[in-house]
Amino acid sequence: MNVMTWRRAVVLLAALLVLPRAAVWSQSASPSAGTPATGRVRGVAFDSANARPLRQTVVQLIRVDAPNVSRLSTTDSLGRFAFDSLRAGAWILGMRHPLLDSLRIEQLATRIDVRTKGTTRASIAIPSGFAITSRICGDSVARDSSGFVHGRVRSLGANGGDQTATVRIQWLEYTVTAAGATRAVVTLDVPTNADGSYVGCGVPSESVVRIRSWRGADSTGVLESTIPAYGITQIDLTIGARRRVVLTVDTITSDTGALARVTVARGDASVRGVMLGAGGQPLANGRVSVWGSGFETVTAANGRFALGDLPTGSYLLESRAIGYQPSRRIMDFEPNTEATIIMQLHRLLTLDTVKVRALRNRLLGKDMTGFEERRRRGLGRFLDPDDIEQRMSGRTSDFFLAVSGVRLVPSNSGDRVQMRGHVGGYCIPIVFVDRVRQYLFDGDLDAIVSPMEVRAIEVYAGFIMTPPEFQVPFDQCGSIVIWTGTRR
């Protein structure tokens, strides 16, 4: 087949793949009348990016010399497909799959020659992340176990005119030397193309990235996404207009007693939704917030929530509830429009109460060995079982009264624990209980663990001083680690 014929066949395949499903199936129900049917095709569709078969995927055949003749087959659980009663000759094999767009693959097609007798074997595969990264970013990026972030940026406002937008991608990079481990925030600024598309190369696989885009005075919020193992992710962005509002909050940020002043975004968008938990049941008293807006609300008894005066454009909507994994969703808020969403949360892994106690007693020796090793390094502040026994009180927060760098801030419902951050001022620390991260909204340790259960405590100020197992990406505050169990 010459180049022009091949290109024509691919174009025809692309056209057929976007036809309504009913129309395509009606064409593929049987071969054209009078067409000799002497061959068959058996094959496999495979996703090399995720190293697994493509299940329930529509695969299509188009005859090269008669592009109006097409056949469809759907893969099984092993990615296998089959075509029978095919006229011998050249066919174009292609497929539909939503992953293609996210991998920057415009078309996936290959030519096969059907024999007059017997079975023709064929396969079609989504390329590996390494192959795609090599094609888009170059071999050096792919060999470095890195990938890329790509997408398209659109604008809701008039600011910037024809000015290209800028996309900023940030992630953490760790360096280990003989002197110890250090970390740095890597920033990659990428201009958009004329059509609004962008590609940011060199992003590490399986990393957490934060991304934001702006054009002129308008911008998106700060978004967060995890890069998959194959190293490629698509994040489409919407730049919207926003008003900047300076708020004074009642959290003291320094020893001088000055109140914090924060800048938040406001607009004329809104969102309404419902938070669901295990079994699809509504979750009451869950918390919903929009990053950068300063707004947070609590779900009602029926799980429903609503937020207004939100900035327009792409922002991160976060949902949390006790006993559930947090959920974060990128939302595109439109002007004078109410968005709707269902936030499905999944339970944290828990064990039967009796089994938890038995397992904890068996593992405490190992955990406390790690405790002693970390104390010998001298990078944090530690309260062992004897210290806890001497400071025993009616509240967990009282254990921190004499810990340097930690303070208790009174509130209507009790004291809140705050820590002096790595960048100055006080902040709410990350909290782990028996190695499991607890999602603390306001520093209220008394709400998550009883003082009678506390066996030992570790306190680490700032990310650099925190052991890797208790670090959280982009956190600048530090961590508190609480161990529970018997003290004697």
- Give per-residue pLDDT as tens, 12-63: 444 444 433 333 333 344 444 455 557 899 999 999 988 899 998 999 999 9
- Mark which of 110, 127, 144 sits at the end of a domain: 127
Alpha carbons within 13 A on the beta-carbon side of 183: 19
How many other CB atoms are there within 10 angstroms of residue 221's CB atom? 25
Q: What is the pLDDT of residues 262-310, one digit of tens each?
A: 677 788 999 999 999 988 999 998 889 888 887 889 999 999 999 999 9
For residue 361, what pLDDT band results from cuts at 50, 70 and 90?
Answer: very low
pLDDT surpasses 50 at 74? yes
Residue 302 burial (CB < 10 Å; 0-12/13-18/19+)?
exposed
How many other CB atoms are there within 10 angstroms of residue 463's CB atom? 22
- Percent of the chain at pLDDT > 70 equals 78
Higher pLDDT, 471 or 138: 138
Choose the weakest-confidence range: 15-29, 30-44, 325-339, 447-461: 15-29
Q: Is the dihedral of CA 272, 278, 284, 286 positive or negative?
A: negative
Q: Are residues 50 and 121 in the same domain?
A: yes
| SS3 call for 396 | helix
- 141 near 188, Cβ under 8 Å? no
Provide the pLDDT for residue 248. Answer: 60
Q: Are residues 218 and 303 in the same domain?
A: no
Q: Are residues 358 and 335 in the same domain?
A: no
DSSP 114-159: E-SSSEEEEEEEEPPHHHHHHHHH-HHHHHTTEEEEEEEEEESSST
Q: Are residues 401 and 462 in the same domain?
A: yes
Q: Are residues 77 and 63 in the same domain?
A: yes
| SS3 call for 206 | coil
Output the average pLDDT for the chain: 80
- 119 near 38, Cβ under 8 Å? no
pLDDT surpasses 90 at 446? no
Tokens of 378: 């001298």
Provide the pLDDT for residue 18. Answer: 43
Q: Are residues 366 and 304 in the same domain?
A: no
Higher pLDDT, 485 or 113: 113
- Mark which of 239, 266, 289 sits at the end of a domain: 239
Q: Rounded CA gap, 96 and 98, in Å?
A: 7
| CATH classification at residue 420 | 2.170.130.10
Provide the pLDDT for residue 262. Answer: 62
Q: Are residues 252 and 228 in the same domain?
A: no
Provide the pLDDT for residue 183. Answer: 66
Extended strands (E) in 334-397: 338-344, 381-383
Q: How many domains does the chain have?
A: 4
pTM: 0.66
- Please give the span between the terminal C-alpha atoms of the chain, in angstroms, as a whole number: 81
Q: Rounded CA gap, 439 and 321, in Å?
A: 9
Closest to 12 (Cα-Cα) out of 77, 55, 65: 65
Provide the pLDDT for residue 293. Answer: 82
Q: Are residues 374 and 461 in the same domain?
A: yes
- Percent of the chain at pLDDT > 90 equals 35
Residue 348 DSSP one-character state: P
pLDDT surpasses 90 at 137? yes
How many other CB atoms are there within 10 angstroms of residue 224's CB atom? 16
Q: Are residues 253 and 323 in the same domain?
A: yes
Q: Rounded CA gap, 447 and 187, in Å?
A: 37
Q: Rounded CA gap, 248 and 260, in Å?
A: 6
Higher pLDDT, 197 or 473: 197
Provide the pLDDT for residue 25. Answer: 34
Higher pLDDT, 369 or 438: 438
Greatest mean pLDDT range, 114-128, 388-402, 468-482: 114-128
Provide the pLDDT for residue 36. Answer: 59
- 257 near 173, Cβ under 8 Å? no
Provide the pLDDT for residue 252. Answer: 44
b/e per residue 393-413 (b: at least 16 CB within 10 A): eeebbbbbeebebbbbbeeee
CA 54 to each of CA 133, 231, 244: distance values in angstroms, whole numbers, following the listed order:
21, 19, 47
Task: Quickly tell me which residue has 């001088």 as its tokens.
Answer: 256
Q: What is the mean pLDDT of residues 197-212?
A: 92
Cβ neighbors of 471 (< 8 A, separation 6 or more) are 463, 479
Long-range contacts of 432-440 (CB under 8 A, 24+ apart): 432/470, 432/479, 432/480, 432/481, 432/482, 433/482, 433/483, 433/484, 434/360, 434/367, 434/482, 434/483, 434/484, 435/367, 435/469, 435/481, 436/348, 437/472, 439/320, 439/326
Q: What is the mean pLDDT of residues 359-370?
A: 49
Alpha carbons within 13 A on the beta-carbon side of 260: 13
What does residue 62 show for φ and ψ, rounded to 5 degrees? -130, 130
Q: Are residues 477 and 357 in the same domain?
A: yes
- Mark which of 344, 369, 397 sits at the end of a domain: 344
Q: Are residues 446 and 466 in the same domain?
A: yes
| CATH classification at residue 32 | 2.60.40.10
Q: Rounded CA gap, 82 and 92, in Å?
A: 14
Task: Quickly tell me which residue has 């782990």 as its tokens.
Answer: 432
Q: What is the mean pLDDT of residues 240-254?
A: 65
Provide the pLDDT for residue 369. Answer: 64
Choose the weakest-confidence range: 10-24, 178-192, 194-208, 439-453: 10-24
Q: Are residues 30 and 136 in the same domain?
A: no
pLDDT surpasses 70 at 120? yes
Q: What is the mean pLDDT of residues 397-418?
A: 77
Domain range for 335? 243-344
Higher pLDDT, 56 or 348: 56
Q: Rounded CA gap, 397 and 390, in Å?
A: 14
